[in-house]
Amino acid sequence: MGHEPFDTPFELYQESSGGDQWSSANHRNRDGVVPHRLQGYRVRSGALDRRGRRASPVVSLTRGHRSIAVATADFWQNFPKAIEAGDDRITLRLWPRQYPDVHELQGGEQKTHTFFVAFGRDRVTGVPLDWCRSPLLARADPSWYCASGAVSYLTPTANDPDREYVALAQTAVDGPDAFERKREIIDEYGWRHFGDIYADHEAVFQSAGAPLISHYNNQYDGVAGFATRFLRSGDPRWWTLMDDLASHVADIDAYHTNSDKAAYNHGLFWHTYHYVDAGTSGHRSYPKHPKVGGGGPSAEHNYPAGLLLHYFLTGNPISRETAIELAQWVIDMDDGGQTIFRWIDRGATGLASMTGSPLYHGPGRGAANSIVALMTGHRASGEARFLLKAESLIHRCVHPNDDVAERHLLDAERRWFYTVFLQALGKYLDYKAELGAIDGAYAYARASLLHYAAWMVDHEYPYLDRPEILEYPTETWAAQDMRKSDVFAFAAKHSSGDTRARFLERADYFFQASVSTLSGMPTRTLTRPVVLMLTNGLMHAGCSRTSEMPAPPLTDGFGTRRSFVPQKVRALKHARIIAAVLTVIAIAGAAGLFYLLS
């Protein structure tokens, strides 16, 4: 529909996406029913009743020399929406009354809408607010972004010598499996879903039938991946993916509430549970299913760094506020004073550092995500408590003199995530150097990184070289190998001589192993491996082979590592002791009473 006149009263109502999957099970309500009746939109004006698929309307009302125009961004994508015009007003219905169901905004969710109003003549475009449909995007040249050093390890895409690596990431915007096209498979549209990525890797074992509904919820920080690709290339498609996903994450995936327990409040919900349909769970991760035990947000899924980068690029305060919120969540989930065990033990819960098991507090992705989130909070706010907490978690999880063999890190199914932690150590060291804080905490983290990297040189191998020990030897394992390349690149920056050369050789080896293996797999364009390519591997082309990080002052040593015991374990032990003492007292009291009465 072009720019054309209509009579008042006028109504344009978009009930569904209008796509081929407009009535997808993705839109089931609390009763498991898809309430949509209309494929697309309906226009009513006087006797006119017109139907269509997808509307991006601008409505202007003119009375004499006076006019007003209203438009909203992503109108059909964020259905349901309605816009109406009467004799003296325009009404934009963000939660339209025409919808045949309630609007199920859940506790902790919010929704941010963007709309534009022009009072009087629009001097930008002939059609009032027509520019809002595709606004201009101002940007610098990619070479300037990369040379600025504002974001580490960026190389202009055009200058990146690793063309096979570039091609793997480029599938997010090019070809039949581009992320925008994947939205159509499950109709990842509507005010709750729009901006998220379809987690198609979860459907690979599905039998014939309707596609499995699975939401990605920013796992491995796709927001950051899209942002860095925009900076490297200037391609506006990356900007759009970044902006859409950041808005979704900040509104829907982040749990904006104080009404749950501290372990969950202000956290980030996981992706949909592996290989299970989302059902009626929305973006709350855990559907009602026999294979799913339930749960909530946890440190193993916390990715605010991309949100802060989104804020720096757009100025959107919601992204910054959410990034700080997720950093504060790390502190709160680890605060024993906010749990039911506080009356017995008020020490750290361990929820900020556990990975896989409540008893594992070694190098893992839970602690890694917490450390990166805390550094993000520190960068966003300048509040020292965030960085101090990050350093306490580093001390909790690793020590420069650890017996690495005791960690069983080659047990890939249960310990693969240790490389995420070592990457976090590398990022921490970069950040401390940026701050000029070459102190004891820096020395501790540096020594720990080098200690573990030295072990990796002699023991690590590409995961798919031993597929027999993997439950699902999929393309994700090849993509995860890229983390090892980054770890060795970080370690090389803190080394010299033969040790440095060996680390660089291993960085090259795992980079090539990851890229070549993944490139040969037909499933390389699935969402998870593509996001891993977007967020890892930048150091291979972007890290100078000759740069060296500052060495810390000499130290007398790092003492002995203290084993961490989580609050619940400590509290239950204390409770048993208290119960035993009370039992003894009760028995003694009963015996004394019996003696007095006998």
Could you read off the pLDDT of 463-476 as tens digits, one per residue? 999 999 999 999 99
Let me know if residue 423 belongs to a domain: no
481 vs 479: CA distance, rounded Å: 5
**pTM score above 0.85:** yes
221 vs 424: CA distance, rounded Å: 14
Residues of the chain with pLDDT under 50: 1
Let me know if residue 170 belongs to a domain: no
What per-residue confidence (pLDDT) applies to 579? 84
Let me know if residue 117 belongs to a domain: yes
56 vs 1: CA distance, rounded Å: 9
Q: Which residues fall within 8 angstroms of residue 218, CB to CB, at 6 or more apart?
A: 196, 245, 249, 253, 268, 303, 306
What per-residue confidence (pLDDT) applies to 231? 98
Let me know if residue 384 belongs to a domain: no
Let me know if residue 362 belongs to a domain: no
Let me know if residue 16 belongs to a domain: yes
- Which of helix, strand or coil describes residue 93? strand
CA dihedral 401, 406, 410, 415 (to 10 degrees): -90
What's the domain range around 63?
10-133
Q: Which residues fall within 8 angstroms of residue 453, CB to CB, at 6 or more apart?
A: 422, 487, 488, 490, 491, 503
Let me know if residue 98 belongs to a domain: yes
- Contact 36/23 with Cβ under 8 angstroms? yes
Number of domain units in the chain: 1
Let me know if residue 66 belongs to a domain: yes
- Contact 418/362 with Cβ under 8 angstroms? yes
93 vs 391: CA distance, rounded Å: 48
566 vs 563: CA distance, rounded Å: 10
